[in-house]
C-alpha cells in the first residue's frame, strides 16, 4: 500500500479534499498497526470534524496531516497479497413453497474485491446473499470458504458479516453496542476503546455515539451497523441494499469507504452487496452479476463474450424524429422510456455516437455509456 | 477510557461497568452487578421498613401485607431486568465467546434471579430477628410455666382436680360385634349409647400410651388411660421445641403443685401474675365476651383467664413463638421456594436467550399441549396409585426430547422441531433426578404394598420404615449438578449448532 496510498492521500490534501484525505489517513494509520499513529489519526480526524463544524480548517491541519502521512509511510507496512475467499459453485435454492427458485450461479471472490448483485425486486438477490451468509440451506451446488478449514456454520457465521436490508433495532446507547461488538470479537481493554473511537471517526459518527437508536435517522443506522460489523473484523462482508437509506452523497462515501476498507492491510475482506443503485455499484464493484427471475443473466466477468452492441443513454429536449435524423438508417435503434433515450448500435462505438450528438449541437442534460452496464437488462 | 452515562447505572459503578463491557461482555450483558446493587438497595429499604413495622413481637403478624408489597417490588425489578435482557438479544449469538461463557451466564442469571426473589423473604426474616431480639427462648418457657403455676396456686379452690378415665380394650376383627356391647364398662359415667366407643388402630394406641398422663393396665387387653384436667392457662405449640427447659404439662403442674392444698403468699403472687400477664399481653387484644370455648362461663379456665387477662397474654406468647421459630420450622421450605422459583425463571430466561422468539413460544405451547394430552391419558389410565404413570410420561418425554435434540449434530438445516425439543430437554434436565427419585420411592412403596396383602385385599398404607427424605435430597442436589455438566458439555454445543445452522 505504502507508496500508492501515500501519494493518493497527499494528492487529496493538495487538491483540498481534506475530508477524503482524513478518511484515507485513518485507514493508512490503522494499517500500520501502531497504536500511537492510530491515536494521532483519530485526533486529527476529530480536529478536522470540529473545524468543519465552525467552518474553517486551521493552517496547521495540512502540516499535521503531512507529518502523520510521513510517519505512517516510514513504517513500511505492505499490503498483503489477495487471497481467494469464497467460491460459489452452481449454488441453487428453491423455497419449500416452491414459488421461487434461484437457478445455479457460480462465481468466486478474493479479499479486496467487491461483487455487486443487481436485479429487480423479488428476483433472488437477497436469497443469493443469504445463501452466501450461511443463513439458507442450499438445494444445489456448494460454497467453499477458502480461509476456513472444515468449518461448521458457527465458524462460517463468525467469518462472515451480513447486514440485512432491515437492520434489527439496537437497544441502549449506540456506543455501548459498538464496545460490546468489539468485545465479543476479542477486542478488549484499550484496544476496544481505540477501535471503537477509530470506527466512529472513520464513519463520521462520533457526535451521534451517545445517542440511542431512536434518535438517529435510518441512514445513520446503516452507518452504525456497518461500524459495528467492521469492528467484528469479518473476512466477507455481505450487504443487502445498503444504499437504500442513504442520501446521494452518503451512498458515494459509504461505497468508496467500503472499498478502501476491503483493500486495507488491517483486515482485508471481500464484499458482496446488492443494490438498485446500478451505476453506484458498477463504479466500485470488480464484478457485477445481474439476476432476473432467479437466473444469472449477466456477469461483468464475461462481458466481452456477451456484449455485441454499443449502448448509450442520454436526456435531451430534442424530439425523437430529430434524433433519428442524425444517424444513417439501420446504424442505430432508438428507444425512449419517458425520461431517457437509449441508442443501441452494432456499427458505431459509444464515442462515435456521442460525437454525432455533440456535432449536431443536440442539447444534452445527461449522457452515459451503458454498453457494459447491467442497466441494459432492466 | 471514556465513560458513558447509562441510565440506571450509578456514577460509582460507571467505571466498573465500562470495564466489564470492554473486557467481560458475557458478564456485562447479564447486568448482574446492577441487579445486585439495586437488590441490595431495595433489601436495605425493606429491612428498615420491616424493622420499624415489626417493633413489637407480641403483635399479630402482618407479614402478609409486607410480603405482597415486596413481591410487587421484586416483580417490578424482575420485569425491568428481563425486558433489558430480552431486548439486548440482537447480535449476541456469534462472536468469540469462551467455552465457559454459557455456564458463567447461567450462573449469573441464577444469582440475579435469586437476588431479586430473595427480597420477598426479608420481612419474614426481620420479623423473626425482632422477636428473637425481644424475647429469649428460655424466657418464653419460664414465663409460661410461671404464669400457669401461679394461676394454679392462686385459684386452687376453683380448679377441677378430677382426672378423666378412658377405657381401652384390644379386640380382634371377629370380636367386633361382641365388643360393641361390652366396651367402656369401667367408665365412671354411664354409657348413654351402645356404640359410643371410638375405634382406634394400633398406631393410635401406641401414641395414646406414650402421651397419656397415666395408664392402668387391667389385663393384657384392657387399659385405662387417665387425663388430667387442663391447667395450662397459657401455652404455645412449639414454645419449648428448641429450649432446655420444657413447658410444664398439666400433669406435671398437678403433681408438683396441686397434690396438696397450697398455701401461697397471695398478694405477692397476684402482683407477679399481673405483671407477667401485662408483659405478654398482645397489644389491643380484648378478652372475648359471650362465647367461650370452655362450654360455660363458670368453667374455671374461663374464669381464671378472664380474671388475670391471660387470653391476651396467651395470644402474645403465641405470636412471639410463631415469629421466633418461623425460620427454624419453615426455613428449608422457604429455601426450596426460593430455589425452585429461581431455577424455573432462570431456565426460561436462559432458553429464551439461546433460542429464537418463535421457537421459545412454540416450546411453551408444546409444553402446554403435552400437559393437557398427558392429563387426558392419565385420566384414562388412572395415573397409578402413587402417580407413577405421570413420572413415567416425564421420563419418556425427556428421552424423546433428548434424542430429537441430538439430531441437531447431523442436521443440514435448522428446524423448529429440533429447537422445541432442545428447549424442553434443557428445561426438564434439572428436574429429572427428582422424577427418577420419585419413581424409585414409589417402587419401594409398591414392594411394601405387594407384601401386605391381607385376607385377599391390598393393605393401603405407606411403608413407614423407608425414609425417602435422603433420596429426594440427593435428587435435589443432583439436578443442578447434572444440568451444569450437560450445559457445559452438551446443551451449549447443541444450542450453538442449532443457532448457527441455516434455515430451510
Could you tell me which residues are beta bridge partners of residue B168?
B223
Please tell me the predicted confidence (pLDDT) of residue A54: 81
Could you tell me which residues are beta bridge partners of residue A142?
A89
A313 DSSP 8-state letter: E
Instruction: Check B22 against A176: CB less than 8 A apart.
Output: no
The C-alpha of A326 sits at a distance from chain B's nearest C-alpha, in angstroms, of 56
pLDDT tens digits, B432-443: 999 999 999 888
Could you tell me which residues are beta bridge partners of residue B225?
B166, B215
Take residue A58 and report the three cell numbers written for it: 486551521
Tally C-beta pairs within 8 A across A and B: 86
**CB-based burial of residue B202 (10 Å sphere; 0-12 exposed, 13-18 middle, 19+ buried)?**
exposed
Domain ranges of chain A: 2-74, 84-302, 307-377
Question: Most A CBs within 10 Å: which of B86, B94, B101, as the mutation test of the A interface?
Answer: B94
Query: Which residues in chain B are closer than 8 Å to A185, comparing Cβ atoms?
Result: 95-96
- Residue B427: closest CA among B344, B368, B494, B497: B344
Instruction: Check A179 against B22: CB less than 8 A apart.
Output: yes
CA distance A244 to A276: 8
Please tell me the predicted confidence (pLDDT) of residue B346: 96
Instruction: Out of B87, B95, B413, name the one closest to residue A185 (CB).
Output: B95
Task: Give pLDDT tens digits along chain A (378 positions).
Answer: 445 678 888 888 888 888 889 999 999 899 888 999 999 999 999 999 888 888 777 778 888 999 999 898 888 777 778 899 999 999 999 987 767 889 999 999 999 999 999 888 888 899 999 999 999 999 989 999 999 888 888 889 888 999 998 888 888 889 999 999 999 999 999 999 999 999 999 999 999 999 999 999 988 999 999 999 999 999 999 999 888 878 888 888 888 888 888 888 888 999 999 988 888 888 888 888 888 888 887 776 666 666 788 889 999 988 888 888 888 877 888 888 888 899 988 888 889 899 999 998 889 999 988 888 877 777
pLDDT tens digits, B458-502: 555 555 567 888 999 999 999 999 999 999 999 999 999 999 999
- Beta pairing class for A160-163 and A236-240: parallel
Question: Which residues fall within 8 angstroms of residue B145, CB to CB, at 6 or more apart?
Answer: B245, B247, B248
Could you tell me which residues are beta bridge partners of residue B224?
B167, B216
pLDDT tens digits, B367-379: 999 999 999 988 8
Take residue A249 and report the three cell numbers written for it: 452523497
Per DSSP, the residues of B169-209 read: E---GGGHHHHHHHTTTT-SSPP-STT------HHHHHHHH
Phi and psi at residue A93, to the nearest 5°? -150, 130
- Residue A264: closest CA among A234, A289, A221: A234
- Residue B214: closest CA among B257, B164, B258, B177: B164
CA distance A291 to A374: 10
CA quadruple A284, A287, A293, A294: dihedral sign: negative
E-state strands within A32-119:
84-94, 101-110, 114-118
CA distance B12 to A378: 60
Instruction: Check A183 against B497: CB less than 8 A apart.
Output: no
Do the two domains A84-302 and A307-377 of this chain adopt the same fold?
A: no
ipTM: 0.85
Closest residue in chain B to residue A225, using alpha carbons only: B91
pLDDT tens digits, B108-164: 999 999 999 999 999 999 999 999 999 999 999 999 999 999 999 999 999 999 888
Angle between helices B122-134 and B63-87 (to 10 degrees): 140
Instruction: Check B21 against A188: CB less than 8 A apart.
Output: no
Question: Most A CBs within 10 Å: which of B493, B502, B503, B504, as the mutation test of the A interface?
Answer: B502
Instruction: Check B90 against A136: CB less than 8 A apart.
Output: no
B247 DSSP 8-state letter: P
Instruction: Check B25 against A170: CB less than 8 A apart.
Output: no
Query: Which residues in chain A are closer than 8 Å to B6, comparing Cβ atoms?
Result: 172-173, 176
Instruction: Check A210 against B94: CB less than 8 A apart.
Output: no
Query: Which residues in chain A are closer than 8 Å to B31, comparing Cβ atoms?
Result: none
CA distance A137 to A119: 22
Q: CA of A161: how far to CAs of A135, B88, B207, in Å? A: 11, 19, 76
The C-alpha of A126 sits at a distance from chain B's nearest C-alpha, in angstroms, of 14
B137 neighbors B270 (Cβ within 8 angstroms): no
Instruction: Check A181 against B502: CB less than 8 A apart.
Output: no
Instruction: Out of A138, A156, A183, name the one closest to residue B25 (CB).
Output: A183
A216 neighbors A245 (Cβ within 8 angstroms): no
Instruction: Check A171 against B88: CB less than 8 A apart.
Output: yes
Take residue B228 and report the three cell numbers written for it: 388430667
User: Which CATH code for domain A307-377?
Assistant: 3.30.70.100
Instruction: Check B500 against A153: CB less than 8 A apart.
Output: yes
Please tell me the predicted confidence (pLDDT) of residue B130: 95
Please tell me the predicted confidence (pLDDT) of residue B183: 44
A334 neighbors A323 (Cβ within 8 angstroms): yes
Could you tell me which residues are beta bridge partners of residue A345?
A310, A332
B491 neighbors B426 (Cβ within 8 angstroms): yes
Instruction: Check B94 against A157: CB less than 8 A apart.
Output: yes
B4 inside 8 A of chain A by CB: yes
The C-alpha of A319 sits at a distance from chain B's nearest C-alpha, in angstroms, of 53
Phi and psi at residue A343, to the nearest 5°? -115, 130
Closest residue in chain A to residue B499, using alpha carbons only: A154
Instruction: Out of B87, B91, B412, name the one closest to residue A181 (CB).
Output: B91
Take residue B401 and report the three cell numbers written for it: 426430547
CB count in 10 Å sphere of residue B125: 17
Instruction: Check B97 against A156: CB less than 8 A apart.
Output: no
B257 DSSP 8-state letter: I
Instruction: Check A137 against B503: CB less than 8 A apart.
Output: yes
CA distance A151 to B93: 17
Query: Which residues in chain B are closer than 8 Å to A186, comparing Cβ atoms?
Result: 96
User: Which CATH code for domain A84-302?
Assistant: 3.40.50.300
The residue with cell 380394650 is B169
CA distance B442 to B468: 10
Is residue A164 classed as helix, strand or coil in its secondary structure? coil
The residue with cell 433426578 is B433
CA distance B130 to B122: 12
- Residue A2: closest CA among A20, A35, A24: A24
What is the CA B98 to chain-centroid distance, rounded? 40
CA distance B277 to B144: 10
Please tell me the predicted confidence (pLDDT) of residue B192: 44
Among B87-91, B357-361, B448-452, top mean pLDDT goes to: B357-361
Question: Most A CBs within 10 Å: which of B2, B22, B356, B495, as the mutation test of the A interface?
Answer: B22
- Residue B385: closest CA among B463, B321, B276: B463
Instruction: Check B96 against A193: CB less than 8 A apart.
Output: no
Q: In chain B, which among 395-424 make CB contacts under 8 A with chain A?
A: 412-413
B490 DSSP 8-state letter: I
pLDDT tens digits, B245-302: 999 999 999 999 998 888 889 999 999 999 999 999 988 776 655 455 666 778 899 8
B500 inside 8 A of chain A by CB: yes
CA distance A48 to A356: 47
B88 inside 8 A of chain A by CB: yes
The C-alpha of B18 sits at a distance from chain A's nearest C-alpha, in angstroms, of 9
Question: Most B CBs within 10 Å: which of A95, A130, A137, A191, as the mutation test of the B interface?
Answer: A137
Instruction: Check B497 against A158: CB less than 8 A apart.
Output: no
Question: Most B CBs within 10 Å: which of A42, A95, A127, A179, as the mutation test of the B interface?
Answer: A179
The pLDDT of residue B166 is above 60: yes
B105 neighbors B30 (Cβ within 8 angstroms): yes
Amino acid at each position: 500500500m505504502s507508496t500508492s496510498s501515500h501519494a493518493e492521500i497527499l494528492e487529496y490534501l493538495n487538491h483540498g479534499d481534506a475530508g477524503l484525505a482524513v478518511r484515507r489517513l485513518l485507514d493508512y494509520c490503522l494499517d500500520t498497526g501502531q497504536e500511537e499513529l492510530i491515536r494521532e489519526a483519530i485526533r486529527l480526524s476529530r480536529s478536522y470534524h470540529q473545524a468543519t463544524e465552525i467552518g474553517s480548517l486551521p493552517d496547521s491541519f495540512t502540516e499535521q496531516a503531512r507529518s502523520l502521512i510521513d510517519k505512517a509511510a516510514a513504517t513500511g507496512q505492505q499490503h498483503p497479497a489477495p487471497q481467494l475467499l469464497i467460491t460459489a459453485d452452481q449454488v441453487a435454492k428453491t423455497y419449500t413453497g416452491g414459488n421461487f427458485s434461484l437457478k445455479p450461479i457460480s462465481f468466486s471472490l478474493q479479499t479486496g474485491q467487491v461483487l455487486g448483485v443487481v436485479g429487480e425486486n423479488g428476483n433472488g438477490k437477497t436469497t443469493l446473499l443469504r445463501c452466501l451468509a450461511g443463513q439458507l440451506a442450499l438445494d444445489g451446488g456448494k460454497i467453499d470458504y477458502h480461509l476456513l478449514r472444515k468449518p461448521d456454520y458457527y465458524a462460517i457465521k463468525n467469518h462472515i458479516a451480513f447486514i440485512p436490508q432491515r437492520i434489527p433495532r439496537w437497544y441502549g446507547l449506540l456506543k455501548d453496542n459498538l464496545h460490546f461488538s468489539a468485545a465479543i470479537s476479542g477486542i478488549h481493554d484499550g484496544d476496544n476503546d481505540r477501535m471503537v473511537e477509530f470506527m466512529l471517526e472513520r464513519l463520521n459518527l462520533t457526535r451521534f455515539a451517545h445517542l440511542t437508536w431512536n434518535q438517529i435517522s435510518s441512514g445513520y443506522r446503516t452507518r452504525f451497523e456497518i461500524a459495528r460489523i467492521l469492528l467484528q473484523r469479518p473476512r466477507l462482508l455481505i450487504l443487502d441494499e445498503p444504499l437504500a437509506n442513504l442520501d446521494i452523497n452518503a451512498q458515494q462515501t459509504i461505497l468508496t469507504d467500503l472499498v478502501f476498507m476491503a483493500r486495507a492491510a488491517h483486515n482485508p475482506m471481500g464484499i458482496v452487496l446488492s443494490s438498485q443503485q446500478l451505476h453506484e455499484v458498477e463504479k466500485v464493484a470488480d464484478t457485477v452479476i445481474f439476476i432476473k427471475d432467479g437466473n444469472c443473466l449477466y456477469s461483468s466477468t464475461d462481458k466481452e463474450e456477451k456484449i455485441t452492441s454499443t449502448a448509450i443513454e442520454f436526456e435531451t429536449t430534442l424530439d425523437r424524429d430529430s434524433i433519428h435524423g442524425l444517424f444513417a438508417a439501420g446504424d442505430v435503434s432508438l428507444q425512449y422510456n419517458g425520461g431517457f433515450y437509449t441508442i443501441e448500435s452494432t456499427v458505431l462505438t459509444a464515442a462515435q455516437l456521442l460525437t454525432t450528438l455533440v456535432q449536431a449541437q443536440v442539447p444534452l442534460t445527461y449522457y452515459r455509456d451503458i454498453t457494459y452496464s447491467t442497466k441494459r437488462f432492466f | 477510557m471514556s465513560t458513558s452515562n447509562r441510565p440506571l447505572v450509578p456514577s460509582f459503578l460507571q467505571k466498573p461497568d465500562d470495564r466489564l463491557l470492554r473486557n467481560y461482555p458475557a458478564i456485562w450483558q447479564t447486568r448482574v452487578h446492577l441487579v445486585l446493587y439495586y437488590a441490595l438497595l431495595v433489601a436495605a429499604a425493606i429491612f428498615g421498613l420491616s424493622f420499624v413495622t415489626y417493633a413489637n413481637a407480641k403483635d399479630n403478624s402482618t407479614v402478609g401485607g409486607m410480603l405482597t408489597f415486596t413481591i410487587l417490588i421484586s416483580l417490578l425489578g424482575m420485569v425491568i431486568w428481563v425486558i433489558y435482557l430480552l431486548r439486548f438479544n440482537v447480535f449476541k449469538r456469534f462472536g468469540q465467546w469462551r467455552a465457559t461463557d454459557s455456564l458463567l451466564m447461567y450462573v449469573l442469571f441464577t444469582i440475579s434471579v435469586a437476588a431479586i426473589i430473595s427480597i420477598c423473604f426479608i420481612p419474614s426474616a426481620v420479623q423473626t430477628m425482632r422477636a428473637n431480639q425481644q424475647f429469649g427462648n428460655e424466657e418464653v418457657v419460664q414465663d409460661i410455666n410461671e404464669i400457669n403455676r401461679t394461676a394454679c396456686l392462686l385459684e386452687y379452690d376453683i380448679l377441677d382436680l378430677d382426672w378423666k378415665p378412658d377405657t381401652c380394650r384390644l379386640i380382634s376383627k371377629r370380636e367386633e360385634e361382641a365388643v360393641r356391647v361390652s366396651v367402656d364398662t369401667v367408665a365412671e359415667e354411664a354409657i348413654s349409647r351402645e356404640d359410643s366407643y371410638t375405634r382406634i388402630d394400633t398406631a393410635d394406641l401406641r401414641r395414646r400410651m406414650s402421651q397419656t398422663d397415666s395408664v392402668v393396665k387391667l389385663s393384657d387387653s384392657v387399659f385405662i388411660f387417665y387425663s388430667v384436667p387442663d391447667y395450662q392457662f397459657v401455652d404455645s405449640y412449639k414454645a419449648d421445641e428448641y429450649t432446655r427447659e420444657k413447658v410444664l404439662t398439666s400433669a406435671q403442674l398437678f403433681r408438683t403443685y396441686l397434690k396438696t392444698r397450697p398455701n401461697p403468699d397471695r398478694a405477692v403472687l397476684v402482683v407477679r401474675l399481673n405483671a407477667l400477664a401485662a408483659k405478654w399481653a398482645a397489644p389491643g387484644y380484648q378478652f372475648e365476651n359471650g362465647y367461650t370455648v370452655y362450654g360455660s362461663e363458670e368453667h374455671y379456665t374461663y374464669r381464671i383467664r378472664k380474671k388475670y387477662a391471660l387470653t391476651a397474654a396467651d395470644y402474645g406468647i403465641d405470636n412471639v413463638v410463631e415469629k421466633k421459630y418461623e425460620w427454624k420450622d419453615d426455613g428449608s421450605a422457604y429455601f426450596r421456594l426460593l430455589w425452585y422459583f429461581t431455577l424455573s425463571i432462570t431456565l426460561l430466561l436462559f432458553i429464551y436467550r439461546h433460542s429464537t422468539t418463535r421457537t421459545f413460544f412454540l416450546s411453551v405451547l408444546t409444553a402446554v399441549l403435552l400437559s393437557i394430552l398427558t392429563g387426558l391419558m392419565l385420566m384414562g389410565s388412572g395415573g397409578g396409585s402413587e402417580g407413577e404413570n405421570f413420572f413415567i410420561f416425564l421420563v419418556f418425554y425427556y428421552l424423546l426430547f433428548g434424542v430429537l435434540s441430538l439430531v441437531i449434530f447431523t442436521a443440514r438445516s435448522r428446524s423448529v422441531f429440533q429447537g422445541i425439543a432442545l428447549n424442553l430437554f434443557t428445561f426438564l434436565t434439572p428436574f429429572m433426578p427428582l422424577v427418577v427419585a420419585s419413581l424409585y420411592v414409589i417402587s419401594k412403596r409398591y414392594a411394601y404394598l405387594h407384601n401386605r396383602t391381607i385376607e385377599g385385599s391390598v393393605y393401603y398404607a405407606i411403608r413407614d420404615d423407608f425414609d425417602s427424605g435422603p433420596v429426594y435430597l440427593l435428587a435435589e442436589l443432583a439436578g443442578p449438578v447434572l444440568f451444569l455438566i450437560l450445559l457445559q458439555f452438551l446443551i451449549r454445543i447443541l444450542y450453538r449448532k442449532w443457532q448457527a445452522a441455516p434455515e430451510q
